[in-house]
Amino acid sequence: MITKYNKFVNQELQQYLNNHLNRKDVEFEIIKSSSIKEVKEFFKDDEINDINIILLKDEDWIDGKSNPSESIVDKSLILFKKSKFDNQHLYWLVHEISHILHFKKFGNIYSNLEYPKNEVEYFAFYNQFKFMRNYMNLNNLQILNVMKNEYNYRQGTELQYVLDFFEKILSDIDKNIFNDKDF
């Protein structure tokens, strides 16, 4: 499942990661997103075959970033904190893959978007919450509690603003507004 880093084959990627993370000689491992059974089943198509997951050591993780993952949509890359790459955090992988799929379908519409209430994040969280429900067997309250813990760095009205957005998405999933099709 895990392809070990090979600096001769991945020299361009090595340079990109060094620049992106502002570090030197970042060590990483590569995984094909389509090799993860639950993720491949969830997306049910070949669109994820070209998406690579880059596992990074915690000490090489992005300074100041609390989430365990980040998508680089134009390169079909997902950076993931190695210590969090487990079945309990696969929902973040689904979130990041959704960002990449949205980019592939609609192009770069990321500039000047209000976080999190925008169509890009809606698409990503919608898929993330459906995954949490279908593959982790969590109900709405459990999903909200997980997300509240993930967003614990936000306080008061800022946290409530995000949670209200999450509740809207969960309500839309309950209504099955997309008839279980992607949009």
For 40-78, how does the pLDDT look when each residue is reduced to its tens digit (9 = 90+)?
A: 999 976 889 899 999 999 888 888 787 899 999 999 999
Delimit the domains of the chain by residue range.
3-175
Q: What is the pLDDT of residue 47?
A: 83
Per the rule left: phi > 0, alpha: psi between -120 and 50, beta: everything else, 125 is alpha
For 118-131, how does the pLDDT look when each residue is reduced to its tens digit (9 = 90+)?
A: 889 999 999 999 99
**Token couple for 118:** 């925008």
